[in-house]
Amino acid sequence: MKPTIHHATIRGDAYAVGRGLGEAVRPHMTAVTGASEEFRALDTRWRGSELVRHLLEAARAVFPDYIRELEGMADGAGVDFDTLFVWNCRGDLRYPPGTVSPRVEAAVADGCTTVMLPAGHDPAAPDDALIAHNEDGSEELDGHCFWVRVERDGGIPFSSFLYPGMLPGHTLAVNDTGLV
């Protein structure tokens, strides 16, 4: 039986982390670029748009390491950078009415929820915190997602649930200091 969630540990600078993530998700990218109605709608509507150009300019100015990570991911996954950038902007982009199915509209509108109960919530395990996450991502991504451990040069190591082609931290993530 195939694992539902794949695992990867990636280390290095921003580009190396991105490339390693891209190589890990490469076999799963068709679930995003080919099978996902949400991705196709995003790409068709927003690729090359003025809004996406402005988002990219802002990201390059404020978050250059994330852009390097996406550049590495694009190279590792064998997809173009613009594809991944649009996909990573999905939370900031919307669809014109009637351009996606009601199922995708509902999934995008609701999104996931993460809840944390801090250490001390359970007298039987006073040092343990509990993190719960409901995954509302597209059903086309079932079997294609990852739990990754990222150890970026000069950064705090962290673990994250990962959609193929998305930067880690987009969904549930926790770093080695316990920050969720």
Question: How much is the average pLDDT of 130-159?
Answer: 87
The pTM is what?
Answer: 0.85
Give domain status of residue 32, yes or no. Answer: yes
Give domain status of residue 142, yes or no. Answer: yes
Q: What token pair was written down for 4?
A: 């539902």
Angstrom CA distances, 97 to 41, 94, 100, 111, 176, stand at: 12, 9, 8, 18, 42
pLDDT band at 30 (very low <50, low <70, confident <90, very high): confident
Range of the domain at 96: 5-175
Choose the weakest-confidence range: 6-10, 65-69, 160-164, 176-180.
176-180
Give domain status of residue 180, yes or no. Answer: no
Q: How many domains does the chain have?
A: 1
> Over the stretch 89-134, which tens digit does the pLDDT of each residue have?
988 887 777 777 777 776 666 677 778 788 888 888 888 888 787 7
Give domain status of residue 114, yes or no. Answer: yes
Give domain status of residue 128, yes or no. Answer: yes
Give domain status of residue 111, yes or no. Answer: yes
**CA 77 to mean position of chain CA atoms:** 14
> Over the stretch 65-86, which tens digit does the pLDDT of each residue have?
999 999 999 999 999 999 999 9
Buried b (16+ CB within 10 A) or exposed e, 46-66: beeeeebeebbeebeeeeeeb
